[in-house]
C-alpha cells in the first residue's frame, strides 16, 4: 500500500475536530490514523506497519479481515441486514446454538447484547431477579465494563469517577500470589486464604443479601492472574452453599484466548451465568451476550424477563459469529492458541524475563500473557506506581514508544505489558513480536535500581 501522509492528516484532523474519545483528556491525545489491517498487522498512512500484540482491545481473536467472516457479513447484508429481536431469525438461532454448544455445562440459553458491559448488566439483573437479593460481590483487580453497574463492579481506578450508584457492590481480594494480598508464599496458601477472606466477607455482608459473585475466570486487563488450583471450585462451592449466583465474565478470556473455548474449562467449573463478547465474532460487528443455566432460564419461563435491546442478536453480528466459530473450528484456532502459548510465547517470554532486570514475573497461557515490570526484582516494586500518569508514567511510555519504533504495537496497563495477539498468530509473527519486546525491555531496564 502506497503511503499517503496527506490523507492520513485529513483523517486525523476530522477526528480531532469531531470524535470524542474514550477514557481520554480530549486535548491531550494524538490518535494514530489507521489506513488498513490484515491478519496480525495494521498500518498507518505514513508507511509504518505494526504487529498488533493487543488484538485491538483484546478481541480480534482471528485477526483482521478474515476473508470468510468478511464474506459472511457481506452475504448477510444482501440477504437480511437487520431484523427486530422478537422474531426468530435463522442466523440468530444458529449463532445461539453454536455458542450454547461450546459454553460449559447446562448454559443452554443465550441472551444477546451489543458488547461486554451490557452482558454484565443483564447477567446481574438476571441474578437479582432469580435470587430476590440485590448485593453483588466482585474482585479488586478486575474490569467488567463502563456502564453504570458494570463500572461499579470493576476493580480498577476507572471506577472511581462513577462510583456514585454502586447499590450494594462490595469488592473483595481474589488470589494473586506475586502481589499477594494475604502474605501467602505458596499457591495453596494463597488459595486457602483467598477463599477464607471471601467467606469472611460474605459472613459480614450477610449471605442472604448477596445475589451474585462475579469474577473473570482469568482476570484480563487487571493483569492476567491465573487463579490457583481449587480457587474457582472453592468459589463455586461457597456460592452453592449460600444460594449465590456465580457469574463468570469471559468477555476477554473466552473464545480461544486461553487455548480453550472458555477459560472456565481449565478449572472444571460451571458458572450459573457466563458473559461473553469480543472473540465471539472477533468484534467485526458488535456482539456480546449472557449464556444462561437451565435453572435461571426457568425463572423466566412464565414470568417476563424485564430487559431488552433494539439490536439484541443483530443479524450482521450473528452472521459474523457463525462464520467466526466455523473458522475457529476449521482452522483449529483454539488448539493453535494453546500450542503457540506452550511452544513459543510462554518459553520466549520466560527467556526475556531471565535476561531483563525489569521483568518481575511472566504469567499466562494460550495467547494471554502479562509481563509484570518492576524497578527491582527482589522488592517487586512496580516499574511505575499504581495509576501513574504524566512524568510518573514515563518509564512505561518510553517502553511503549520503543516497541512501536520496532514495529510492535504493545498492550500497556499500569506497570504491565500484555502479549495478547490474535489466536491465529503464526510462529514467525510471534517470534517477531518477542524480538521487538526484547528491544523495548532494554529501555525499561534503564529504570531499574
Q: Which residues bind ligand PLP (CB under 6 A)?
A: 57, 115-117, 120, 143-145, 216, 220-221, 249, 251-252, 277, 288
Closer to ligand PLP at the Cβ: 324 or 406?
Answer: 324
Smallest gap from Cβ 141 to ligand PLP, in A, equals: 12
- For the bound state, the minimum distance from the C-beta of residue 162 to ligand PLP, rounded and expressed in Å, comes to 14
Nearer to ligand PLP, 277 or 444 (CB): 277
Q: Residue by residue, what is the 3-state secondary structure of the chain?
A: CCCCHHHHHHHHHHHHHHCCCCCCCHHHCCCCCEEEEEECEEEECCCCEEEECCHHHHCCCCCECCHHHHHHHHHHHHHCCCCCCCCCCHHHHHHHHHHHHHCCCCEEEEEEECCHHHHHHHHHHHHHHHHCCCEEEEECCCCCCCCHHHHHHCCCHHHHHHHHHCCCEEEECCCCHHHCCCCCCCHHHHHHHHHHHHHHHHHHHCHHHEEEEEEECCCCCCCCCCCCCCHHHHHHHHHHHHCCEEEEECCCCCCCCCCCCCHHHHHCCCCCEEEECHHHCCCCCCCEEEEEEHHHHHHCCCCCCCCCCCCCCCHHHHHHHHHHHHHHHHCCHHHHHHHHHHHHHHHHHHHHHHHCCCEEEEEEECCEEEEEEECCCCCCCECCCCCCCHHHHHHHHHHHHHHHHCCEECEEECCEEEECCCCCCCHHHHHHHHHHHHHHHHHHHCCCC
Question: Which residue's C-beta sits nearest to ligand PLP?
Answer: 116
CB-CB neighbours of 196 under 10 Å: 12
Nearer to ligand PLP, 39 or 254 (CB): 254
Closest distance between ligand PLP and the C-beta of residue 199, in Å? Answer: 24
Of 120 and 430, the one with the shorter C-beta distance to ligand PLP is 120
Nearer to ligand PLP, 57 or 238 (CB): 57
Measured from the CB atom, the residue of 64 and 276 that comes closer to ligand PLP is 276
Cβ of residue 226: shortest distance to ligand PLP, in angstroms?
15
- Minimum distance of ligand PLP from residue 286's CB (angstroms): 8
Min dist CB 216 to ligand PLP, Å, is 5
Minimum separation from the CB atom of position 143 to ligand PLP (A) = 5
Minimum CB separation of residue 346 from ligand PLP in Å reads 22
- Looking at beta carbons only, is 232 or 434 nearer to ligand PLP? 232
For ligand PLP, the closer CB: 252 or 396: 252
249 vs 372 by CB, closer to ligand PLP: 249
Residue 219: CB minimum distance to ligand PLP, A: 8
Amino acid at each position: 500500500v502506497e503511503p499517503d501522509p496527506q490523507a492520513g492528516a485529513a483523517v486525523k484532523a476530522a477526528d480531532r475536530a469531531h470524535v470524542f474519545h474514550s477514557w481520554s483528556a480530549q486535548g491531550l491525545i494524538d490518535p494514530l490514523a489507521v489506513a488498513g489491517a490484515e491478519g496480525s498487522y495494521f498500518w498507518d498512512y505514513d508507511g509504518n506497519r505494526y504487529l498488533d500484540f493487543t488484538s485491538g482491545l483484546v478481541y480480534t481473536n482471528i485477526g483482521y479481515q478474515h476473508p470468510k467472516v468478511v464474506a459472511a457479513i457481506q452475504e448477510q447484508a444482501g440477504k437480511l441486514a437487520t431484523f427486530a429481536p422478537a422474531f426468530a431469525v435463522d442466523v440468530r438461532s444458529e449463532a445461539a446454538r453454536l455458542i450454547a454448544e461450546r459454553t460449559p455445562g447446562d448454559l443452554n440459553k443465550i441472551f444477546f447484547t451489543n458488547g461486554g458491559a451490557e452482558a454484565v448488566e443483564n447477567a446481574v439483573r438476571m441474578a437479582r431477579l432469580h435470587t430476590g437479593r440485590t448485593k453483588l460481590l466482585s474482585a479488586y483487580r478486575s474490569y467488567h465494563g463502563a456502564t453504570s453497574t458494570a463500572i461499579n463492579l470493576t476493580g480498577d481506578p476507572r471506577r472511581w469517577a462513577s462510583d456514585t450508584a454502586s447499590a450494594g457492590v462490595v469488592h473483595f481480594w481474589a488470589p494473586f500470589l506475586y502481589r499477594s494480598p494475604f502474605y501467602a508464599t505458596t499457591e495453596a496458601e494463597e488459595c486457602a486464604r483467598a477463599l477464607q477472606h471471601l467467606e469472611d466477607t460474605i459472613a459480614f455482608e450477610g449471605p442472604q443479601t448477596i445475589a451474585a459473585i462475579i469474577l473473570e475466570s482469568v482476570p484480563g486487563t487487571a493483569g492476567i492472574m491465573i487463579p490457583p488450583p481449587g480457587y474457582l471450585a472453592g468459589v463455586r462451592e461457597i456460592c452453592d452453599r449460600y444460594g449465590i449466583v456465580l457469574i463468570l465474565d469471559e468477555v476477554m478470556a473466552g473464545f480461544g484466548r486461553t487455548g480453550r473455548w472458555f477459560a472456565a474449562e481449565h478449572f472444571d467449573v460451571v458458572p450459573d451465568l457466563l458473559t461473553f463478547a469480543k472473540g465471539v465474532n472477533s468484534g467485526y460487528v458488535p456482539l456480546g451476550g449472557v449464556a444462561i443455566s437451565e435453572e435461571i432460564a426457568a425463572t423466566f419461563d412464565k414470568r417476563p424477563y424485564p430487559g431488552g435491546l433494539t439490536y439484541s442478536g443483530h443479524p450482521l453480528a450473528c452472521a459474523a459469529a457463525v462464520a467466526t466459530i466455523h473458522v475457529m473450528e476449521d482452522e483449529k484456532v483454539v488448539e493453535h492458541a494453546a500450542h503457540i502459548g506452550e511452544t513459543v510465547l510462554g518459553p520466549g517470554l520466560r527467556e526475556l524475563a531471565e535476561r531483563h532486570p525489569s521483568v518481575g514475573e511472566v504469567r499466562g497461557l494460550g495467547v494471554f500473557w502479562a509481563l509484570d515490570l518492576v524497578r527491582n526484582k527482589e522488592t517487586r516494586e512496580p516499574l511505575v506506581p499504581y495509576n501513574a500518569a504524566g512524568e510518573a508514567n514515563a518509564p512505561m511510555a518510553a517502553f511503549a514508544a520503543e516497541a512501536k519504533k520496532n514495529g510492535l504495537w504493545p498492550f500497556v496497563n499500569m506497570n504491565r505489558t500484555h502479549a495478547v495477539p490474535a489466536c491465529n498468530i503464526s510462529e514467525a509473527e510471534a517470534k517477531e513480536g518477542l524480538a521487538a519486546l526484547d528491544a523495548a525491555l532494554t529501555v525499561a531496564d534503564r529504570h531499574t535500581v
